[in-house]
Amino acid sequence: MEELETVTADSPRTAGARLSFLTYDAFPVGDVRRPVLASWVRSRRRNLPADRIDLPYVSDPDLDQPLTRSADPVIMRLHEHLDGQPISVILTERDGLVLRRLTADTQLSRHLDRVHLAPGFSYSEQFAGTNGIGTALERGGPMHVFGHEHYAEDLEDLACAGVPIKHPISGKTVGAIDLTCWRKDAGSLLIALAKTTADQIRAALLRDCSARQQELVEEYLQAGRRNADMVLAFDGDLLVMNANARRNLDNSDQAAILAHGSEMLTEGRSALAVELPSGSRVRITCRPVPEGVRTNAAVLQVSPRTPGLGVMVVSTNRPPPRPELPGMVGRSGPWLACCRDVDNAYRAGQWIVLSGEAGTGKVALARAAHLQNNPAGALDVLDAAVPVADFAADVEEELADDSVQALVIRHAEKLAAAQLDELIGALYSARERRRSDPPWVALTVTTAGTTEPDLGELLPLFPLTVTVPPLRHHADDIRELVPYFLSQLSRGELRCSPEALHQVLRSAWPGNTAELHRVLKHIVQHRRRTGVIVLGDLPADLQAISRRNLSQLEALERDAIIRSLLDNNGNRREAARALGMSRATIYRKIHDYGIR
């Protein structure tokens, strides 16, 4: 972890290393801390300017939300205790958008205004480059960035210590706390203070959340007692439903009802008649909890409107859905099986290989299993695709840190044979040394088509390989992923029309969940921020896919084409030749099957 790094933060050599890095000159890797270097690489890949700061701005950040309600008293108290010292206390959303800034010192305050470290601006790493807020959020753990470690020159007089705030129940990151001061005044206590503040905000969130959820459950129980309807209660983290609802609503009907419920909350509607995906017609009444304030919690009562139907869908006694891993959306069989395997491996302390096509969620799964089982422990991710001087040494260093409880080695397929040998040595010695408190290690391997990389001697250390299914093999989960991503990207102000969703479901998504996320992000950024996504909002190639449903044989053929394209680096001519198809046929099928 960064606190134990052998390289000192912003040592005199850092400025030289930064300059060499920006001018593509060589410099001793030891002159800059590893997480900072990794962040510089990411900032450069994003083509960020290093000589100035250029950030997006929203004029009315949402200040009436659970995070601010719980965090405000904590940061106010800290601000008072700081008693006029030149330290700024900053609260951001999970995407780095600054919500609050408390600064007693006028000079520091003016400087922060100049570099736009102020409410409404986003200090996400993707816009601001390496900095305490964005880089902590990007890494999912505490991070201090001092002076010349910042990517943008404008920030070199500052020191910031950022800590992501994880929701105490869902484990999801809901924001970040950051302490910023002049570089010359900074010390190691800054990060310690930021961590304590994040802990206090977490505790406040838990208190507020328990009180709110208790009220929600009481309202739900009362509604259930009053009548025999189907009753559901939900907020951002909790979903409960009575036996009647569980028996009669299948997964897609439940998802549709929840989507309508959220919309009714946003629009302030109390009743709605709708047709569900199963074809049943129902009336939904929505009661916000607590009433009269902006809330994301409600109790829904659902009564059937289909004539003659006492209940809507007759279903067998299905087992209740298994608990999901935190933040992992999807309830289809292949996806849940995969979540279960990773979770079981984590519990058993078994090191695993997560293998699958790009963007299927391998790292996300490892993170979720860690969060589920060891939310307080640190997890780090080392990416073998990012060039470093000595990857095995980085792994060894990471595992030498007893606070690292889990390590994900991403893109293991990128390691050359010699690097693999060194990595094996590093892993064996870490396992030996930390016998009493062994860390959990997961390797992710991004496969292209049918080609599995040869991990050779590594495999004895990783007895279990879990294959993460491509999105097209659990396409049903798209129904949940789309609203989930949209709520993250548009703060719940945008939803997808049934026609557009149908078309999204029909695409083959060769870039998997990551691609789905990218496409939705593009729509949110470029087209609409509120309202409903209609067919015309989708990228042209998505709109062009034929709208009929595929037979099983066609689905198999689509899969074979995708695998062949992946095996042949996207070369259509080679892919067609491998499949014994003419080029004209493969072109037509790529278009028909929505392979992009």
Ligand X SMILES: Nc1ncnc2c1ncn2[C@@H]1O[C@H](COP(=O)(O)OP(=O)(O)OP(=O)(O)O)[C@@H](O)[C@H]1O
Query: What is each CA distance from 557 to 239, 273, 477, 561, 579, in whole angstroms?
Result: 39, 40, 21, 6, 10
Nearer to ligand X, 78 or 329 (CB): 329
Q: Least separation, in Å, of the C-beta of 318 and ligand X?
A: 21
Nearer to ligand X, 354 or 581 (CB): 354
- Cα dihedral angle (37, 40, 41, 42), rounded to 10 degrees? 120
- Residue 489 CB, nearest distance to ligand X (Å)? 11
Q: At residue 298, what are phi and psi to the nearest 5 degrees?
A: -155, 160
Cβ closer to ligand X: 131 or 446?
446
**How far is it, in rounded angstroms, from Cα 97 to Cα 120?**
6
Question: How far apart are CB 457 and ligand X at their closest, in Å?
Answer: 23
- Shortest spacing between CB 185 and ligand X, in angstroms: 37
Beta bridge partners of 446: 356
Find the residue with minimal CB distance to ligand X. Answer: 361
- Nearer Cβ to ligand X (142/511): 511
Which amino acid does the sequence have at 100?
A: R
No. of H helices and E strands in the chain?
Answer: 20, 17
CB 48, min distance to ligand X, A = 20
Question: Nearest distance from residue 111's CB to ligand X, in Å?
Answer: 34
Q: Which of 405/446 has CB closer to ligand X?
A: 446
Nearest to ligand X of 299, 520 (CB atom):
520
Comparing CB distances to ligand X, the nearer of 358 and 555 is 358
CB of 34 to ligand X, least distance (A): 19
- What is the C-alpha to C-alpha distance for residues 176 and 187, in angstroms, rounded to an integer? 20
d(CA 149, CA 126): 16
Of 173 and 446, CB closest to ligand X: 446
d(CA 403, CA 393): 17
State the minimum distance, in angstroms, from the CB of residue 514 to ligand X.
4
| Tokens standing for residue 207 | 């208190």
Comparing CB distances to ligand X, the nearer of 356 and 439 is 356
Residues forming the site for ligand X (CB under 6 A): 327-330, 356, 358-364, 410-411, 444, 446, 513-514, 517
* CB crowding 325-336: b at 16 or more within 10 Å, else e: bbbbbbbbebbb
| Residue with smaller CB distance to ligand X, 100 or 474 | 474
**Which lies closer to ligand X via its Cβ, residue 230 or residue 423?**
423
What's the min distance (Å) between Cβ of 356 and ligand X?
A: 6
C-beta closer to ligand X: residue 34 or 517: 517
Query: Which SS3 state, helix, strand or coil, does residue 529 take?
Result: coil
At closest approach, how far in Å is the CB of 364 from ligand X?
3
- The minimum distance between CB 300 and ligand X, in angstroms, equals 24
Q: Which is nearer to ligand X, 50 or 442 (CB)?
A: 442
Cα distances (Å, whole numbers) of residue 355 to 360, 464, 470, 513 = 9, 10, 10, 15
| Cα–Cα–Cα angle for 271, 276, 279, rounded to 5 degrees | 130
Distance CA 548, CA 543 (A): 13
* CB of 9 or CB of 443, closer to ligand X: 443
CA dihedral 396, 401, 187, 177 (to 10 degrees): 110
- Shortest Å, Cβ 410 to ligand X: 5
| DSSP 8-state secondary structure symbol assigned to residue 321 | P
Residue 100, CA atoms < 13 Å, CB-side half-sphere: 23
Per-residue HEC secondary structure of 189-202 comes to HHHHHHHHHHHHHH
Q: How far is the CB of 444 from ligand X (least distance, A)?
A: 5
CB 447 within 8 A of CB 355: yes
Q: Do the Cβ atoms of 179 and 108 come closer than 8 Å?
A: no
In a 3-state reduction of DSSP, which class is residue 127?
helix
Cis peptide before 290 (omega within 30 of 0): yes
Q: What b/e sequence results for 558-570 when a residue is b if at least 16 CB atoms lie within 10 Å of its CB, and e otherwise? A: bebbbbbbbbbee
Measured CA to CA, the distance from residue 145 to residue 36 in angstroms comes to: 8
Residue 596 Cβ, how far from ligand X at the closest point, in Å?
Answer: 17
Max CA-CA distance within the chain?
A: 80
- What is d(CA 129, CA 150) in angstroms, rounded to the nearest whole number? 7
DSSP single-letter state for residue 318: P
